[in-house]
Structure 1
Amino acid sequence: MELVFTGQVIEWRGPSPYYFVRVPGEECDDIREVAAMATYGWGVIPVEARIGEIAFGTSLFPKDGGYLLPLKDAVRKPQGLTAGDDVTVKLTVRI
Structure 2
Amino acid sequence: MNESISAALPLQHWQGDRGTYHLVTFAGAEAEALAAHAAMQRLELGRRRGFGSLKSDARIGETRWKTSLFPQHGQSEWVLLVGRKVMRAEGLAPGDEVDVSVTPV
Taking structure 1 as the reference length, the TM-score comes to 0.90
Counterparts of 1:34 and 1:68, CA distance in 2: 15
Unaligned ranges ≥5, structure 2: 43-47
Alignment of 1:6-25 (within 5 A): 6-14=8-16, 15-25=18-28
Aligned counterpart, 1:86: 97
Aligned counterpart, 1:59: 68
Counterparts of 2:81 and 2:24, CA distance in 1: 7
4+ residue runs over 6 A deviation: none
Aligned counterpart, 1:27: 30
Cα shift at 1:24: 2.9
Root-mean-square deviation (Å)? 1.4
Counterparts of 1:16 and 1:27, CA distance in 2: 28
User: Which one of the candidate residues 68, 79, 82 is aligned to 1:68?
Assistant: 79
Q: Does the aligned pair in 2 maintain the 1:7–1:87 contact within 8 Å?
A: yes
Over the matched positions of the two proteins, sequence identity in percent amounts to 31
> How far does the alpha carbon of each residue in 1:21-48 deviate from its partner, in whole angstroms, 9 at most, with x for none?
1113110001111213065222111110
Counterparts of 2:93 and 2:28, CA distance in 1: 22
What SS does the aligned partner of 1:13 have?
strand
Query: Which amino acid in the other structure matches residue 4 of structure 1?
Result: S
Q: Does the aligned pair in 2 maintain the 1:7–1:24 contact within 8 Å?
A: no
Query: Which amino acid in the other structure matches residue 64 of structure 2?
Result: A
Counterparts of 1:91 and 1:78, CA distance in 2: 18
Unaligned ranges ≥5, structure 1: none
Q: Which structure has the bigger radius of gyration? A: 2
User: Which one of the candidate residues 4, 7, 17 is aligned to 1:5?
Assistant: 7
